[in-house]
Structure 1
Amino acid sequence: MHMASCVDPLVVGRVIGEVVDLFVPTLTMSVSYGSKHINNGCDVKPSIAAEPPTVNLGGRMSELYTLVMIDPDAPSPSDPTMREWVHWVVVNIPGGTDPSQGQEVVPYMGPRPPLGIHRYVLVLFRQKAGLPGITPPESRANFNTRYFAARYDLGLPVATVYFNAQKEPASRRRRHI
């Protein structure tokens, strides 16, 4: 498989550039919500993403990984003043396993896009060593994946996948006035 084909949708979706720098994917990461497998740029209803996704990593158990999930379009794509809103951070995940085997630093929060179509980006980093005592951010707003990666010496991502979500229409109830 030609690796560039993995990166193209990330460039088109402006994930590369706005969230992470150009990188070469070196690890498989499969993400799904229930029976829905996540491909770059696919649409996901917030209601099916209320619980954390199933994420399976490649790699060896002797390697440790960090998974970060963010929304660069908060509160709205045209005015992302809270970029990046952090939805999930798990560190010390052994390769070949899933995030339940790591340490959750920021508990999972499902997509709740108030306005417009938001991108939800899952970024995986390979750690150079175990990460003890990471302090959770004081706020979910204005998280910075690049800064986080630099602070903990994570380097460039090894895998990234993103999906789109928008607010679901409210059930059409008749209002009796």
Structure 2
Amino acid sequence: KPFSLSDTQLLVGGQKTLLVGMSRLIDPLVVGRVIGEVLDSFNPSVKMLVTYNSNKLVFNGHELYPSAVTSKPRVEVQGGDMRSFFTLVMTDPDAPGPSDPYLREHLHWIVTNIPGTTDASFGGEMVSYESPRPNIGIHRFVFVLFKQQRRQAVSPPSSRDYFSTRRFAEENDLGLPVAAVFFNSQRETAARRR
């Protein structure tokens, strides 16, 4: 059968579908199983920068040593305006270990009422920062940003263990996230800590 214009259109249409499908496959939040295990799929709409020790920017899937993340990071919200407010949640979905994460998720930090275009230090710390201490295997540490509908009081969780980012968002009318980023970390050897 000779090649026709309709075949080309089909091919182009198929290629477009393939590219859209592949972009989903290479999304680091999907590859790192953050989408699925911690969050539902969402469209990022705000830029969030997470920086440790004023020079270690968090990129999806990169590794940071526990000794580099002992102090709370600077979390910049580069979106919205001073009249919009955001909630930041940080969890470890791999506690106590990635092969049997029966404490999933372990809560590390919650900051609410962060004004847009500022950073987390301008919000209210609801749950204080707990530095990552992975004991078994490689853990993911996930930062999730939600846009609040208004300045609001958020219900504090009863425990750091068995926390659910999805449930927390639902209980506090936060909707889907507007930004998320995660890093990996594992226990350091004594030689590395020196």
- C-alpha distance in structure 1 between counterparts of 2:86 and 2:140, whole Å: 22
Letter in 2 for 1:160: A
**Partner in structure 2 of residue 90 of structure 1:** 111
- C-alpha distance in structure 1 between counterparts of 2:71 and 2:151, whole Å: 27
- C-alpha distance in structure 1 between counterparts of 2:173 and 2:123, whole Å: 18
Per the TM alignment, residue 75 of structure 1 is displaced from its structure 2 partner at its CA by 0.1
Letter in 2 for 1:150: E
Task: Tell whether 2:55 aligns with 1:55.
Answer: no
| Cα-to-partner distance string for 1:25-76 (whole Å, 9 max, x where unaligned) | 0000011112111110000001110001111111211100000000000000
Task: Tell whether 2:19 aligns with 1:15.
Answer: no
Task: Tell whether 2:120 aligns with 1:105.
Answer: no
| Cα-to-partner distance string for 1:53-111 (whole Å, 9 max, x where unaligned) | 11111121110000000000000000000000000000000000111111111000111
**Partner in structure 2 of residue 161 of structure 1:** 181
- C-alpha distance in structure 2 between counterparts of 1:126 and 1:32, whole Å: 20
Gaps of 5+ in 1: 173-177
**Partner in structure 1 of residue 19 of structure 2:** none
- C-alpha distance in structure 2 between counterparts of 1:43 and 1:32, whole Å: 13
**Partner in structure 2 of residue 147 of structure 1:** 167
> In the comparison of the two structures, how many residue pairs are matched?
168
What is the Cα-based RMSD across aligned positions, in Å?
Answer: 1.6
SS at the partner of 1:147?
helix
Q: 1:68-83 to 2 correspondence within 5 Å?
A: 68-83=89-104
- C-alpha distance in structure 2 between counterparts of 1:61 and 1:45, whole Å: 34
Per the TM alignment, residue 129 of structure 1 is displaced from its structure 2 partner at its CA by 1.6
The percentage of aligned residue pairs carrying the same residue is 54
- C-alpha distance in structure 2 between counterparts of 1:32 and 1:23, whole Å: 23
TM-score normalised per structure 2: 0.83
SS at the partner of 2:27?
helix
Gaps of 5+ in 2: 1-22
Q: Which has the higher helix share?
A: 2
- Structure number with bigger Rg: 2
**Partner in structure 2 of residue 33 of structure 1:** 52
Per the TM alignment, residue 170 of structure 1 is displaced from its structure 2 partner at its CA by 2.0
Letter in 1 for 2:45: T
> 41, 44, 69: which is aligned to 2:64?
44
**Partner in structure 2 of residue 175 of structure 1:** none
